[in-house]
């Protein structure tokens, strides 16, 4: 729905541990330490360390391997101008959330001092 603001950086995610994952019919919310949340409402891909191709998810989700990410720390987070967000975790897994690719919101990020909606 929206592109990222210019100069938006997701470095505040780096080093943060994923503490909780909440599933809803049309959303998955990732809760990180220090009151950081990412609510995913669009398509995303989760790839394990040893899988060349990840698994693409769209809603409603009937099962996933996202629980592998619990208690893992973010080692890198980078976003493209269209809002596609790639997050690398300490276990080697990668989560890629598609950005502005539809007329609906793809995800939102709530962190101390701000909110970003893509």
**DSSP structure class, residue 114:** E
pLDDT for 9-31, tens place per residue? 999 999 999 999 999 999 999 99
Q: Where are the domains of the chain?
A: 11-117
pLDDT for 26-70, tens place per residue? 999 999 999 999 999 999 999 987 666 678 888 888 888 899 999
Cα–Cα distance between 86 and 75 in angstroms, integer?
A: 11
pLDDT for 72-104, tens place per residue? 999 999 999 889 999 999 999 999 999 977 778
SS3 68: helix
pTM: 0.90
Model pLDDT, residue 30: 98
Whose tokens are 């890629």? That residue is 96
The Cα diameter of the chain in Å comes to 36
Contact between 91 and 49 under an 8 Å Cβ cutoff? The reply is yes
**Tally of CA atoms within 13 A in the half-sphere of 8 that contains its CB:** 21
């Amino acid at each position: 729905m929206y592109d990222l603001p210019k100069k938006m950086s997701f470095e505040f995610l780096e080093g943060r541990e994923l503490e909780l994952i909440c599933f809803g019919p049309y959303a998955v919310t990732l809760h990180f330490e220090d009151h950081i949340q990412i609510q995913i409402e669009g398509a995303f891909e989760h790839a394990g360390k040893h899988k060349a191709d990840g698994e693409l998810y769209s809603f409603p989700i009937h099962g996933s391997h996202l629980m592998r990410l619990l208690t893992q720390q973010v080692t890198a987070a980078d976003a493209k101008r269209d809002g596609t967000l790639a997050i690398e975790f300490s276990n080697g897994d990668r989560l890629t959330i598609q950005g502005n690719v539809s007329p609906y919101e793809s995800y939102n990020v709530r962190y101390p001092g701000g909110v970003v909606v893509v």
